[in-house]
Chain A
Amino acid sequence: MFRHIEQEAPTKRRGGLHKAGRPGFVWALPAIVSFALFALLPLAFAVYLSFTKYNGIRLVPPEWVGLDNWARVVTDTALHKSVGITLLLVLCAVITQIPLALLLGVWAAGPQRGRSFVAALYFIPLLMSTAAVAVLWASLVDPNFGIPALFTPLLGPDNAFSNILGKPASAFGLVVLIYLWGATPLYMLIFQGAARAIPEMLYQAAAIDGAGTIRQFFSITIPQLRNTIITCTILIVVGTFTTFDLILILTRGGPSGATSILPFFMYDRGITALDFGYGCVIAVILIILASIVSIGMVRVTGYDKMQGTQEGI
């Protein structure tokens, strides 16, 4: 993903100078040890616990049950549905957030003075926690006190807006919209920064060749932002795999499992139902899924070879 780190080959060693003033391994130890203890160890625990019956109560230690939890994966149709919904949400999130963030980011990168002010307004959702966004939108779409109530006099008591969270399709659509609302500003900002780095002469050359704005956008801006698009896509994929608070507060996975994405499913089945062993099975599935999608994307797009988009300019 962030390959440019590795581009920094160890600087050429020169005589006796090469070690002077360079930090040894000890410098990295505090971070590495704490990361190993509290991030890698839990990862190993997740695998271990997935083979146990564990209800999260200290007095009852995990009990080894072999493949019992994993066998349930095959028959648990709710889990299959949850995987499908998660992948669908990832897809919807990418195809809504990337184009919008790209357009807004490129637009905000423009020179007009008003734009930086407008860009600051776009930033507002980033000031809100997901919990705050979820509570705000839950109130906005409340059938009695929210915006849908305004439509009742016009469209009658039982219209398309009256029970958004009560119908599977509209509830899922709303989750996509809210996620778009809350997450786009971040990606917009990233695109804005990247768009500013595109050399101006490329546009000048294109203008001399007679290319219009739209042609320039597709022939220069998008190819130049290719790596940024990939980075943002990966961030969206990983972010979607953790959109937990929004679901918990807004829909609790409903109606009838229509918004029960894997992180929520894990919470619901594992933690709420005190079935921590099975919860860890879902966690492991989630980790594998997120890794496959991320690595797959890096491979497919050739991002791991990390050709700079400005090579040869």
Chain B
Amino acid sequence: MRARTNWPAGVFAGIWLLLILIPVYVMVRASLESRATYSANGPLGLPREFTLENYVYAFQQGFGLYLLNSAIVAIGTVLIIVVVVPPLAFAVVRGESGWVRWVFRIMLFGLAIPAQVVVIPVFYLIDRIGLYDSLLGVIIPSAVFLIPLTTLILSGSMREVGNDLYEAMALDGASAFRTFRTLVLPLSRGGLATILVFSALNAWNNYLLPLVLTRSQDIRVATLSLGIFKQEYSLNIPGLMAAIVMTIIPILLVYIFARRSLVRGLMGVGGK
């Protein structure tokens, strides 16, 4: 790498850092003070108080349940991805015929068509098969639309498994399943972690699918309730901020544990 500094980038970097941190500062600080203090203090004031009353309030509004529902959606999505994507990626990388690669190329075209765009026909389908207003009805489309990108990421990391290793397995007379279990899965752990985290985050952040595919309050997810919160309590800014922070904390935990694989996986998207 170059030792010389890139000053235009450095200036931008500093300004941008402020722009990132100011809203985050307002959010965290406001969430920890009472409404009265916030009104007196203004958005950019210094921290003057520490109270958890806004978090208690958010829980009283049912936020715990909404977070749980989001977690169920995220875990369900990850489970589907984990079951269907690794075999597909393996078949794309090592398949005995060109068929799978050919089909996968068509699926990649689907990258241009995110789930949000076809939400009405998805609603029609989910309603027809009786999954409307259920978490499973949200989980299935959330997962399915993640298949192309996650397969792309995972096949990239499976491809890094050396060809000689595959051939050694073949010489041993290993079946496809044994090759998959003892060679491919252990060696593509990094890619696997990336797609797990990526699909969990995506499912967690979903908004339009749960908005259209569910109705009942008891299966409402956290993102949806943030929007509803904002309509109902737009004057209670500390309460709103506490609710936002609560939706971030689980992601933050995932991020802390999985930062390396997530960042490395996303960095690889750019291509060479």
Tell me the A residues contacting B by CB distance below 8 Å. Answer: 1-2, 4-6, 8, 10-11, 17-25, 27-28, 30-32, 34-35, 37-46, 49, 54, 56, 58, 62, 100, 103-104, 106-112, 118, 121-125, 127-132, 134-140, 142, 145-147, 149-150, 181, 184, 186, 189-194, 196-197, 200, 203, 207, 213-214, 216-217, 225, 227-228, 231-232, 234-235, 238, 241-242, 244-245, 248-249, 263, 266-267, 270-271, 276, 279-280, 283, 286-287, 290-291, 294, 308-310
- Asked if residues B272 and A249 are in contact (CB atoms below 8 Å), the reply is no
Provided the pairs A103-B9, A227-B271 are in contact, do residues A56 and B123 lie with their beta carbons within 8 angstroms? Answer: yes
B185: interface (CB < 8 Å): no
- Asked if residues A231 and B175 are in contact (CB atoms below 8 Å), the reply is no
- Asked if residues A107 and B43 are in contact (CB atoms below 8 Å), the reply is no
Chain B residue numbers with a CB within 8 Å of A291 are 109, 112-113
- Asked if residues A19 and B207 are in contact (CB atoms below 8 Å), the reply is no
The closest CB in chain B to the CB of A144 belongs to B235
**Cα distance A4–B92 in the bound complex, in angstroms:** 12
| Interchain residue pairs with CB less than 8 A apart (25) | A2-B271, A5-B152, A17-B171, A21-B178, A22-B176, A34-B143, A39-B145, A42-B122, A42-B125, A56-B120, A103-B8, A103-B9, A104-B9, A107-B12, A125-B20, A127-B248, A134-B230, A138-B234, A139-B30, A139-B240, A147-B26, A196-B1, A242-B114, A271-B212, A291-B109
- Asked if residues A121 and B20 are in contact (CB atoms below 8 Å), the reply is yes
B68: interface (CB < 8 Å): no
**Cα distance A40–B152 in the bound complex, in angstroms:** 18
**Cα distance A58–B126 in the bound complex, in angstroms:** 11
Shortest Cβ distance from A48 into chain B, in angstroms? 8
Provided the pairs A22-B95, A110-B2, A127-B248 are in contact, do residues A38 and B122 lie with their beta carbons within 8 angstroms? Answer: yes
For chain B, the bracket of interface size reads 35 or more
Provided the pairs A1-B111, A118-B17 are in contact, do residues A41 and B125 lie with their beta carbons within 8 angstroms? Answer: yes
Shortest Cβ distance from A23 into chain B, in angstroms? 4
Chain B residue numbers with a CB within 8 Å of A56 are 120, 123-124, 127
B21: interface (CB < 8 Å): yes
**Cα distance A227–B270 in the bound complex, in angstroms:** 7
- Asked if residues A34 and B16 are in contact (CB atoms below 8 Å), the reply is no
User: When A and B form their complex, what is the total count of cross-chain residue pairs whose Cβ atoms lie within 8 Å?
Assistant: 369
Provided the pairs A4-B271, A103-B9, A197-B272 are in contact, do residues A28 and B120 lie with their beta carbons within 8 angstroms? Answer: no
- Asked if residues B92 and A181 are in contact (CB atoms below 8 Å), the reply is no
Provided the pairs A136-B27, A191-B270 are in contact, do residues A27 and B1 lie with their beta carbons within 8 angstroms? Answer: no
Shortest Cβ distance from B152 into chain A, in angstroms? 6
- Asked if residues A213 and B87 are in contact (CB atoms below 8 Å), the reply is no
The closest CB in chain A to the CB of B255 belongs to A127
Provided the pairs A45-B121, A150-B42, A290-B113 are in contact, do residues A190 and B170 lie with their beta carbons within 8 angstroms? Answer: no
Q: A150-B42, A184-B16 are in contact. List 10 more A-B contacts (CB 8 A).
A: A19-B96, A23-B180, A39-B141, A43-B113, A103-B13, A132-B248, A135-B227, A190-B267, A207-B2, A287-B118
Provided the pairs A58-B127, A136-B244, A146-B43 are in contact, do residues A129 and B207 lie with their beta carbons within 8 angstroms? Answer: yes
